Structure 1
């Protein structure tokens, strides 16, 4: 099937063609006709499947089928997202596909001044893409009215629940008119998602285009069992020896992101950290530099696990495994998108063995191990069921001579593994 086979206007087909797309992805193929019928939808789709266009295109078409209201435009489409980054991604998607249509869209999220957002909303917006907290702020200040919303989208619903937004979501839903179309998208399923779907959806059409809680088949996965003190050396070696031009690296903490970023810069690798303590301006600059190729590595906490839309991202590295197995699927879903091949590498130490076991239980398969990394490695005890406590005694480290860290290889050059001895500045 082609996009031209769907009931989309010439303006929308032109915008799609300008992006170089001819054939819809499976989620788009299934969701667009159903949404155009006005049905409620419960969609389970892995990240990178094109789900944003799957609801953006038909909603723009439905708006186009109706008379344009007088100014100021009332909000007729509300799209809720869990993070600022995802809100901006969806907003840009709306602008991209609606560029030939006379509709106004606005993005509402925290972390930036509220006054410019108030001014834009007061001018009128047909479509609002928002995070829950800032949206409620504008509503409480009586700058935003949701009484004429006709289409409501809850994007990344599972992440919304993980981040504790369920009360805010219920407050927002209570402000919407009873008669409306509801679309709920979730990358993974859980009992809480089913309960939420029962509350807000009316006779929904269920759409699933991937196995529940599964990684995309286009992503090759590898595990490097390695002692924690050698993780940074191995990562630096992989980037330099493989001449990687773009890699998204996930760490567990904000402090860890900043520390690793500084260490990789000392190794000669251009990189930036992305986490919740960064200002919105710094986060936008980091993403733009990463997408444009000005930096090679983006070191991120799980704030970046959802909504990052990076064309053909080749590599994702789990420097730290996530505490929640489902987040592994979201992380590696940043690569292997839209049919492209990708590689997901996890650097796993002994204390993370229980996390790896949970991930493999979720995936229902074992992730291949790399037997010889050239670095000191560990034997992962997959029978581990819980992490070591802080009181667990650890053997004293063996003495190592101080050494200097060799920088990452320049693109096009070969590089041997860095020394295995511990860095004096670590």
Structure 2
């Protein structure tokens, strides 16, 4: 099955509950090995799914554990040796344990790839292929993604066979429950603008996204200096530090969590009132993932973006992807200073671009051949586009 749905729509329950039900309907010997394997791109998301399995499979007698990198292997190895029915893992740590002969996957009945689009973004494709290579041919495979980039088609073609396509929402759409707006502001005034925005009492719990790990640390430090309780999470933080920051954020001890894209993938915290894009993402699809942290499970939310002159092309890419214009906030203390940022270079219409001075024919042929070769090389495989399709609105 190929499922496409935004974050916060209940995908975890949608695949865990049926898997648990089928495993209980078809009992297996205690030493059968792993029967269900769930791969996720981040430690936080793996831990979150593990918590949900603990709730959904309570009193079932099924054993589950979570393995991921960034922590010692000893406890994970002990859990695996004790026996596991449902295994949640990140690709890197799973491949490491497979190489040591500590994980048996030859009897896996259910294989789930969660957040497959982010798996590709983070370069996990080789590890995924190694895992798929040892799985039995007869299995049920479920692939879930919040967006549907062209690059996902070859992966789907490799792991799925005649899949049922289910789209719970429009691909790469932003939920209507999220009120989106953008502030045009010079880069050097973003810090003051962030403090201004966080001064609104309506911002009860916020995630601030930065493009880099260093930027996350810097923003969190600057907020703390301004007496705003904030913590940063990113891949360079120790796992215990990240979990502690998430716990404090969830419990309300920290009002603002500053995060990078990958670190925020496992955040499932209710009551997030605002998502603030301090830096616009390079990849427009990351915008959809970011703002999906708010307005979860049918609630309302607000997504605010700070856009400098150098980021205006990114904003246009986001608007093309979500197929709507993001309203611009006109009245804010730094609105008149946006001219300090370099304006985005407007793109010429295709007709105007074609009316350029004539070039020698040999140079024209060389320039025309290169885009054609690039397009043919980048064309995605269509093998995964077959199968059945169902849409849930």
User: Is the pair's TM-score, using the shorter chain for normalization, greater than 0.5?
Assistant: yes
How far apart are 1:241 and its partner, in Å? Answer: 2.7
1:354 maps to what in 2?
Answer: 313
How far apart are 1:192 and its partner, in Å? Answer: 2.1
Cα distance in 1, alignment partners of residues 183 and 210 from structure 2: 15
Which of 247, 262, 282 is 1:323 aligned to? 282
Cα distance in 1, alignment partners of residues 209 and 44 from structure 2: 16
Is 1:368 the counterpart of 2:327 in the alignment? yes
Alpha carbons 1:252, 1:302 under 8 Å: kept: yes
Q: What per-residue deviation string (whole Å, max 9, x for no partner) do you get for residues 254-279 of structure 1?
A: 11111111110011100101011100
Q: What per-residue deviation string (whole Å, max 9, x for no partner) do you get for residues 142-187 of structure 1?
A: 1111001000000011111111111110110001011000000011
Which of 88, 92, 115 is 2:74 aligned to? 115
1:12 maps to what in 2?
Answer: none
Which of 226, 234, 245 is 2:204 aligned to? 245
Cα distance in 1, alignment partners of residues 344 and 180 from structure 2: 17
5 Å-filtered alignment, 1:10-409, equals 41-70=1-30, 72=31, 74-375=33-334, 376-378=336-338, 381=343, 384=346
Cα distance in 2, alignment partners of residues 243 and 161 from structure 1: 36
Cα distance in 2, alignment partners of residues 131 and 271 from structure 1: 28
Moved beyond 6 Å, runs of 4+: none
How far apart are 1:377 and its partner, in Å? Answer: 3.8
Q: 1:96 to 1:339 in 2, by over 3 A?
A: same
Give the secondary-structure state (helix, strand or coil) at the position aligned to 2:266. Answer: coil
Question: Which of 187-196 and 337-346 deviates more?
Answer: 187-196
Give the secondary-structure state (helix, strand or coil) at the position aligned to 1:57. Answer: helix
How far apart are 1:305 and its partner, in Å? Answer: 3.8
Q: What per-residue deviation string (whole Å, max 9, x for no partner) do you get for residues 123-144 of structure 1?
A: 0000000001100111111111
Give the secondary-structure state (helix, strand or coil) at the position aligned to 2:286. Answer: helix
Q: What per-residue deviation string (whole Å, max 9, x for no partner) do you get for residues 213-264 of structure 1?
A: 1111111101011112221112112212335221000001111111111110
The normalised TM-score by structure 2 is: 0.85
Alpha carbons 2:309, 2:344 under 8 Å: kept: no
Alpha carbons 2:20, 2:57 under 8 Å: kept: yes
Cα distance in 2, alignment partners of residues 369 and 356 from structure 1: 11
Give the secondary-structure state (helix, strand or coil) at the position aligned to 2:142. Answer: strand
Alpha carbons 2:311, 2:344 under 8 Å: kept: no
The normalised TM-score by structure 1 is: 0.79
How far apart are 1:306 and its partner, in Å? Answer: 2.0
Alpha carbons 1:245, 1:293 under 8 Å: kept: no
Q: 1:265 to 1:243 in 2, by over 3 A?
A: farther
Alpha carbons 1:317, 1:344 under 8 Å: kept: yes
Kindly indicate which of the two structures has a greater share of residues assigned to helix. 2
Alpha carbons 1:250, 1:318 under 8 Å: kept: yes
Cα distance in 2, alignment partners of residues 303 and 205 from structure 1: 28
How far apart are 1:68 and its partner, in Å? Answer: 4.0
Cα distance in 1, alignment partners of residues 46 and 32 from structure 2: 20
Cα distance in 1, alignment partners of residues 221 and 150 from structure 2: 41
Cα distance in 2, alignment partners of residues 68 and 309 from structure 1: 32
Give the secondary-structure state (helix, strand or coil) at the position aligned to 2:311. Answer: helix
Which one scores higher on RCO, CA 8 angstroms, separation ≥ 6?
Answer: 2
Alpha carbons 2:275, 2:291 under 8 Å: kept: yes
How far apart are 1:120 and its partner, in Å? Answer: 0.6
Give the secondary-structure state (helix, strand or coil) at the position aligned to 2:338. Answer: coil
Cα distance in 2, alignment partners of residues 230 and 164 from structure 1: 34
Q: What per-residue deviation string (whole Å, max 9, x for no partner) do you get for residues 351-404 of structure 1?
A: 11111111111111110000010224426956546xxxxxxxxxxxxxxxxxxx
Q: 1:286 to 1:190 in 2, by over 3 A?
A: same
Cα distance in 1, alignment partners of residues 330 and 201 from structure 2: 18
